[in-house]
Chain A
Amino acid sequence: DQQVKQNSPSLSVQEGRISILNCDYTNSMFDYFLWYKKYPAEGPTFLISISSIKDKNEDGRFTVFLNKSAKHLSLHIVPSQPGDSAVYFCAASGVGGTSYGKLTFGQGTILTVHP
Chain B
Amino acid sequence: NAGVTQTPKFQVLKTGQSMTLQCAQDMNHNSMYWYRQDPGMGLRLIYYSASEGTTDKGEVPNGYNVSRLNKREFSLRLESAAPSQTSVYFCASSESDEAPLHFGNGTRLTVT
Residues of B within 8 A of A36 (CB): 103
Contact check: which of A41, A91, A101, A107 meets B94 at CB < 8 Å? A101
A49 CB–B CB distance under 8 Å? yes
Residues of B within 8 A of A25 (CB): none
B105 touches A41 (CB 8 A): yes
Most B CB atoms within 10 A — which of A42, A43, A91, A107? A43
Q: With the chains together, A61 CA to B103 CA distance in Å?
A: 23
Contact check: which of A43, A100, A103 meets B45 at CB < 8 Å? A103
- The 9 A-B residue pairs with the shortest CB-CB distance, nearest first, are A43-B103, A105-B42, A46-B100, A105-B43, A99-B97, A107-B42, A100-B98, A101-B94, A44-B103
9 A-B pairs (CB sep. < 8 Å): A43-B90, A44-B103, A89-B43, A99-B31, A101-B92, A101-B97, A102-B45, A103-B43, A107-B40
Chain B residues packing against A (C-beta within 8 Å): 4, 31, 33, 40-45, 48, 50, 58-59, 90, 92, 94, 97-106
